[in-house]
Amino acid sequence: MHTRSTTKRTWLATGACLILAGYCSSASRAALIGSGAVSPLDTDRDSDWRRVATVADRARLRGWRGAWMDALAQVDAKDLAAEPILFDPDHALADALPPAGSYQCRTFKLGARGGIGPTYSASAWFACRIDSNGDTDVVSLVKVDGSQRPVGTVFVDTASRAIFLGTMELGDEKRPMRYGRDANRDMAGLIERIGTRRWRVVLPYPHFESVLDVVELIPAP
Got the DSSP string for 83-145?
Answer: -TTTT-TT--BS--SPPSEEEEEEEEEES-GGG-S-SEEEPPPEEEEEEE--S-SEEEEE--S
The region, left, alpha or beta by phi > 0 then psi within -120 to 50, assigned to residue 123 is beta
Q: How many helices (H) and strands (E) does the chain have?
A: 5, 11
Across the range 159-174, mean pLDDT stands at: 81
Write the single-letter amino acid at 183: A
pLDDT at 210 over 70: yes
132 — pLDDT class (breaks 50, 70, 90): low
pLDDT at 65 over 90: yes
Say what the pLDDT of residue 148 is.
Answer: 61
Neighbours of 166 (CB within 10 A): 28
The residue ranking higher by pLDDT, 116 or 6, is: 116
Range of the domain at 200: 4-219
CB 97 within 8 A of CB 197: no
The residue ranking higher by pLDDT, 171 or 114, is: 114
Distance CA 68, CA 89 (A): 7
Count how many domains the chain has.
1
The Cα-based distances of 178 to 151, 167, 200 in angstroms read: 10, 7, 25
pLDDT at 188 over 80: yes
Distance CA 24, CA 167 (A): 20
Say what the pLDDT of residue 70 is.
Answer: 97
Q: How close are the terminal C-alpha atoms of the chain, in Å?
A: 38
Whole-model pTM: value is: 0.78
101 — pLDDT class (breaks 50, 70, 90): confident
Handedness of CA 121, 123, 208, 155 (dihedral sign): positive
